[in-house]
Amino acid sequence: MKTFTNYIDGQWVAPSTGAYDENRNPGKPDEVLGMFASSAPADVSAAIDAAARAFGTWSAVPGPERAQILYRFADLLEQNRDELADILSREEGKILKEAHGEVTRARAETLFMAGEASRLTGEHMNSERPGVEVTRTRVPLGPIGVITPWNFPIVTPVRKISPALAYGDTVVFKPATLTPWCAVRLVELYEQAGLPAGVLNLVTGSGGAIGSVISGSPTIRGITFTGSTAVGKKIFRASVENFTKVQLEMGGKNAALVFDAENLSAAADQIVAAAFASSGQRCTAISRVVVGEAEHDELVRLMTARINEISVGDALEAETGIGPLVSAEQVSVMERYIEIAKKESVQIVTGGNRARSATGGYFFEPTLLTQVRPDSALAREEIFGPILSVLKVATFDEAVAVCNDTEYGLAGCVFTRLIANEKKFVQNVEAGMIHVNHGTASQAHVPFGGVKNSGFGAFSIGPTAKDFYTTDKIVYRM
């Protein structure tokens, strides 16, 4: 069985603890994928020190030269796409088609950010004093702490690491405990692309044991995090002591509003795809459908038919539509919400159970619930799995109010043929990303983020990345 170590200052080094954690295939829990470093605070401190030492040299490298490394990394992603997709499917449970798509998306985002390394500009500002020239430039922020989740263990790290490198920052990377294999392989490819020692550092292990070292470090000048709102709040509180800049991408309870839709069948296709892709384990997954009374029954019928066509099984099998959930704990979470549904007399239209598996994998049936009340936990809390709730409303204004009746504000979509409904939705729904007659898929060059308890700080992806990874410097010159 292979053992994987940390990557600090250009070297693969054993953790100071000497301890390693098993990593298992969620679809076949008896299959151990490898042993990964179980790190201690001392390991994180060593990684932070390495990033700090490398920052002065790396930040002085011309942007186009940094871009060449990212272009090489993008090429390596493509060359190793099949291997990366296989690792992702076996480690996280994402079906192979989606895993390939994730690698492709990571490459696309890297290519955009490589271009940004040459596009970073400043501005010449008019001076109120004759003979004094004023310029505004953007400079690298400093060592960056990158803390990533398990649900997109290829694209989310790349989304954070590639822009940091493009803009001249150095990185300390802490991946999710459940998906260290993807992280190790990514760092190997960044290393192969030609990164100097200390520019990118990887430390694996429990977030509780080592994450606080990153968020509490005065040396780390920025922390970019994707994960739960609860953990995001902890990171924010820890960062305040050192005035550390933060970029937090957190939970979602995204609604699809269906009212006077032009094509209910097309809406059902979009909703089911957005609800159950990645087994519903996406922050942008649709988890609520808010629908008018006149369209409710037909939409439920159409969605049920599509959901029943989704096959649950081995992530590596071509016919599989939903793979395993990432852990036994995630299955237990689904079962807890099904118990809530039963207690509240919610109708379980389809699904609602663990899916049978000869391998003992963590499978759960795609589930559709109706007669869900707006004040139910099913309608307000992030479930993060293959459970979709339907809420019936009488008016469009009521529908908008229901969409906003949650702590989250990441994404939302509306299916309607009426321009007045579209405008009202866009203007009044509290979300960072709005989709009209379209599911909740994002694009590789478009800013991504949320409001309320879904996001804090600069949006990631695209041109807004520089707002987090760089800072202003103003120069007065006579």
Active-site residue set: 249, 283
306 CB neighbour count, 10 Å cutoff: 19
d(CA 430, CA 411): 8
* Residues 121, 100: Cα–Cα separation, whole Å: 34
Tokens matching residue 370: 């109706």
> Rounded to an integer, what distance in angstroms lies between the CA atom of residue 127 and that of residue 8?
46
Closest CA to 203 of 90, 92, 282, 217: 217
Distance (Å, whole) CA 180 – CA 278: 18
How many Cβ atoms are within 10 Å of 424's Cβ, its own excluded?
Answer: 19
Amino acid at 215: S
Strand ranges of the sheet holding 123-125, from the earlier edge strand across to the other edge: 123-125, 133-140, 470-477
CB 72 within 8 A of CB 220: no
For the packed helices 63-79 and 81-92, what is the interaxial angle rounded to 10 degrees?
Answer: 70
Burial of 35 (0-12, 13-18, 19+ CB in 10 A): middle
Q: How many CA atoms lie within 13 A of 56 on its CB side?
A: 4
User: Which spans in 121-263 are helix H?
Assistant: 155-166, 180-193, 207-215, 229-240
Cβ atoms of 425 and 324 within 8 Å: the answer is: no
